[in-house]
């Protein structure tokens, strides 16, 4: 008789944790320590040779941080994963074992503005590059892939517009090209979507957002499906060939489905140092315990607010994929059947100036550069998160001058609508 798998809500509370072996503490302790005492010289040597799993130094591994990574791995249905210092760190950590000078990724043009900047500007300093395409145009995605492409990158629910990516179709393209599909699942969370079930190889999260849920933590997660054959070609030498930065160890043949995870710890975290702090990991673990409850309320509120905005004469368009009028509604039913998330945009009659007045007049909403909080949040991307982009690129990313982004919280929905109503009145008077 096979053991019955645990449900999502149970995993959100129990996965990756057990009562502390030293004290019996039921909640995961904050292991606020830099280093760990070795039993003897042989034990230390085995840890450094990856012959034994354990703790060496908190830049690499820490019990609290490991518990968080293991919990998100369980929720995503992955084989292994790591927690790191931010969502942007998670993106670099996901790419690090795959890339090299002259290599590129094919990325969605509808990404968070900071990600577009990271991929279009910052990664050039590593000798990497990105080709931005509309991932709804599958033929364009295929044509963008060349012999130096090492991954396709998209978001499950695109930030800021709330557009839904066709993960299954993108995964098929990636499989034919022999490269991984990397999916940023931040705005959906594993409650709404598990990208690995749609063919993704790697899943990244900004734990800062829905996973923590209360605006207290900066953190990132990378989850590996464990299903990709890194040795099928010569495209990924860091995993399939002797690693000079680790005594010539060949990670994939030696470590199998855990190759990516161990490389990310033994080489990535060791040398890049994008470490998550244990207190932040502890806060995120506590946040995840209520993830299901929060996401249900987020989605419920977002749908009501989007429907109200769609009927308001002061509004031109609403991008929420859960609306009957949305061109993404059918796809949302396949990719995020529990709901289209709580992040979307709307365009205001009156353009840029009306949007600025709107965000200046909200009272319940918080005007911040964040999303996924229990509180309702608002921002004008063209003047903030996407300000560094040219107007054409802003529009392509769904963040044009007349667009406002909402992250709907879990307050009473009547209060959310009342605040938007009075702020719109002030903005369009």
Taking a C-beta distance cutoff of 8 angstroms, is the pair 386, 113 a contact? yes
d(C-alpha 417, C-alpha 402), whole Å: 20
pLDDT of 98 above 70: yes
The answer for 332, left when phi > 0, alpha when psi is -120 to 50, beta otherwise, is: alpha
Question: Which of 5-9, 200-204, 223-227 has the lowest average pLDDT?
Answer: 5-9
Residue range 115-163, pLDDT digits in tens: 999 999 999 999 999 999 999 999 999 999 999 999 999 999 998 888 9
So what's the pLDDT on residue 182?
98
> Percentage of the chain with pLDDT > 70?
97
d(C-alpha 427, C-alpha 361), whole Å: 8
Taking a C-beta distance cutoff of 8 angstroms, is the pair 379, 404 a contact? yes
- φ/ψ of 264, rounded to 5, equals -65, -35
Provide, for the chain, the percentages of residues in helix, strand and coil under a 3-state DSSP scheme, each rounded to the nearest 5.
Answer: 40, 15, 45
Residue whose C-alpha is closest to residue 220's, from 95, 55, 82, 62: 82
So what's the pLDDT on residue 248?
87
Instruction: Tell me the pLDDT band of 2, cut-offs 50, 70 and 90.
Output: low
Average pLDDT, the chain: 94
Residue range 281-293, pLDDT digits in tens: 999 999 999 999 9
Residue range 218-236, pLDDT digits in tens: 999 999 999 999 999 999 9
Tokens of 89: 């760190």
- CATH number of the domain located at residue range(s) 8-287 in this protein: 3.40.640.10
Mean pLDDT value across residues 90-94: 98
Residue whose C-alpha is closest to residue 191's, from 66, 293, 260, 286: 293
Q: Which helix (H) or strand (E) holds 105?
A: strand 104-108
- CATH number of the domain located at residue range(s) 291-428 in this protein: 3.90.1150.10
d(C-alpha 103, C-alpha 84), whole Å: 24
Q: pTM (2 decimals)? A: 0.94
pLDDT of 1 above 60: no
What residue ranges do the domains of the chain occupy? 8-287, 291-428
Taking a C-beta distance cutoff of 8 angstroms, is the pair 179, 148 a contact? no
- Angle of helix 291-310 relative to helix 413-428, nearest 10 degrees? 40
């Amino acid at each position: 008789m096979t053991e019955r798998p645990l449900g999502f809500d149970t995993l959100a509370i129990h996965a990756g944790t057990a009562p502390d072996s030293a004290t019996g503490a039921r909640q995961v302790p904050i292991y606020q320590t830099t280093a760990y005492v070795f039993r003897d010289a042989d034990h230390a040597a085995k840890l450094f040779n990856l012959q034994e799993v354990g703790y060496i130094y908190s830049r690499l591994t820490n019990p609290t941080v490991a518990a968080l990574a293991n919990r998100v791995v369980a929720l995503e249905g992955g084989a292994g994963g790591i927690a790191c210092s931010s969502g942007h760190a998670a993106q670099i950590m996901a790419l690090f074992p795959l890339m090299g000078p002259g290599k590129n990724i094919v990325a969605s043009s509808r990404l968070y503005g900071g990600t577009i900047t990271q991929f279009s500007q910052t990664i050039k300093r590593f000798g990497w590059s990105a080709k931005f395409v509309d991932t709804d145009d599958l033929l364009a995605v295929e044509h963008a892939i060349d012999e130096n492409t090492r991954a396709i990158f998209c978001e499950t629910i695109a930030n800021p517009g709330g557009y839904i990516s066709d993960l299954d179709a993108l995964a098929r393209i990636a499989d034919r090209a022999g490269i991984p599909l990397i999916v940023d699942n931040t705005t959906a969370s594993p409650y709404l979507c598990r990208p690995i079930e749609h063919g993704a190889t790697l899943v990244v999260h900004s734990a800062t957002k829905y996973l923590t849920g209360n605006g207290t933590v900066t953190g990132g997660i990378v989850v590996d499906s464990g299903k990709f054959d890194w040795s099928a070609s010569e495209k990924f030498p860091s995993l399939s060939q002797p690693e000079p930065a680790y005594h010539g160890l060949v990670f994939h043949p030696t470590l199998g489905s855990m190759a990516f995870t161990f490389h990310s710890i033994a080489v990535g975290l060791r040398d890049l140092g994008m470490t998550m702090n244990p207190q932040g990991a502890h806060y995120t673990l506590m946040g995840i315990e209520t993830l299901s409850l929060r996401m249900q309320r987020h989605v419920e509120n977002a749908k009501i607010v989007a429907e109200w905005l769609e009927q308001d004469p002061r509004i031109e368009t609403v991008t929420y994929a859960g609306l009957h009028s949305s061109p993404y509604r059918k796809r949302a039913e396949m990719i995020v059947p529990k709901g289209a998330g709580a992040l979307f945009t709307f365009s205001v009659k009156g353009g840029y100036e009306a949007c600025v007045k709107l965000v200046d007049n909200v009272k319940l909403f918080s005007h911040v550069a964040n999303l996924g909080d229990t509180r309702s949040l608002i921002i004008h991307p063209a003047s903030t998160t996407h300000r560094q982009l040219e107007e054409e690129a802003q529009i392509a990313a769904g963040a044009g001058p007349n667009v406002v982004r909402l992250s709907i919280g879990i307050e009473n929905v009547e209060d959310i609508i009342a605040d938007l109503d009075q702020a719109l009145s002030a903005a369009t008077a």
